[in-house]
Amino acid sequence: MPPRELTALALTITPFPTPNQDERPPEVNDIDTLVLHYTGMRSANDALNRMRDPVWKVSAHWCVDEDGTIYSLVPEEMRAWHAGVSWWRGRSNLNDHSIGIEIVNPGHEFGYRPFPAAQMNALIQLCEAIQARHVIDPRNVVGHADIAPSRKRDPGELFDWARLAREGIGVWPEPVAEPDPTLSVTRPEQGRHVRDWQSRLTQFGYGLYEDGVFGEETEHVITAFQRHFRQARVDGVLDAGTGAILKHLIAADD
């Protein structure tokens, strides 16, 4: 028998239990964040086996294979170990209050490729079921790269965040009318304008020191932002399009 919480889900769930889990901290009352990953390994089997190997101390609540098979690894009330050192909207240790989904894909290291339709369809149904169980602000549907931009690239610029948003999962910017065509902020610029952009990035949720210096950290955050919201150009430069999308997303949330 599947766990009772899964019976509303019209999906076939394949149990794949792992010891890589523990209790959520007692002060965490609500699960309010959804973190999406890619597995970044050569095969689904490699990734699944790693997530149940106690030596590696990694896991996720769910794993979605390329054919749409959904594996259940960790019960949602427990803490899975997927986020690592992380930050979003003023909070660290995202494992504490999030649900983690691993999406099978070799990733940038082993042959990054599009996410197949069967996989996306299964993922969307899984996310819908999760959102029926927990109150998750659309801005708290994030990629691993968003919450750990200096370490992570997943799920990356081939992941169809726009489609998720159309299905009611996460946010996506409207087309921006008139971006400032002269804007181009990049390393190693410094100054008030850099600080203003850093402030907008942290306001949206990214972890970043607002020091007015466009250094490596800021470049990583811009790159993560582009992988999520501006996938046609991922170069770490705060150009007109990137800036306009960021402003739009902040304005839409006010």
Query: Any idea which residues carry the catalytic annotation?
Result: 102
Residue 16 or 38 with smaller CB distance to Zn ion: 38
Categorise residue 71: left if φ over 0, alpha if ψ from -120 to 50, beta otherwise. beta
Residue 151 or 166 with smaller CB distance to Zn ion: 151
Map the footprint of Zn ion across residues 20-39, applying CB under 5 A: 37
**Residue from 145, 142, 249, 244 nearest 185 by CA:** 244
Minimum CB separation from Zn ion for residue 117, in Å? 22
**Is the backbone peptide bond immediately before 15 cis, with ω within 30 degrees of 0?**
no
E strand intervals along 128-211 = 141-143, 184-185
Q: Which helix (H) or strand (E) element contains residue 250?
A: helix 240-253
**Is the backbone peptide bond immediately before 106 cis, with ω within 30 degrees of 0?**
no
The token duo for 36 is: 């999406």
> Which one among 24, 61, 144, 230 touches Zn ion, defined by CB under 5 A?
144
String of contacts with Zn ion for each residue 154-183, x by CB under 5 A:
x-----------------------------
Residue 76 or 154 with smaller CB distance to Zn ion: 154
Minimum CB separation from Zn ion for residue 26, in Å? 26
Minimum CB separation from Zn ion for residue 154, in Å? 4
Map the footprint of Zn ion across residues 39-98, applying CB under 5 A: none
Question: Angle between the 216-229 and 192-204 helix axes, to the nearest 10 degrees?
Answer: 50
The token duo for 251 is: 């304005």
Residue 35 or 245 with smaller CB distance to Zn ion: 35
Give residues with Cβ within 8 angstroms of 2, minimum separation 6.
13, 15
Site membership for Zn ion, residue 220 (CB under 5 A):
no
One-letter amino acid of 56: W
Residue 106 or 243 with smaller CB distance to Zn ion: 106
Site membership for Zn ion, residue 146 (CB under 5 A):
no
With beta carbons less than 8 A apart as the criterion, state whether 20 and 80 touch. yes
Minimum CB separation from Zn ion for residue 224, in Å? 12
Minimum CB separation from Zn ion for residue 106, in Å? 13
The site for Zn ion (CB under 5 A) is made up of 37, 144, 154
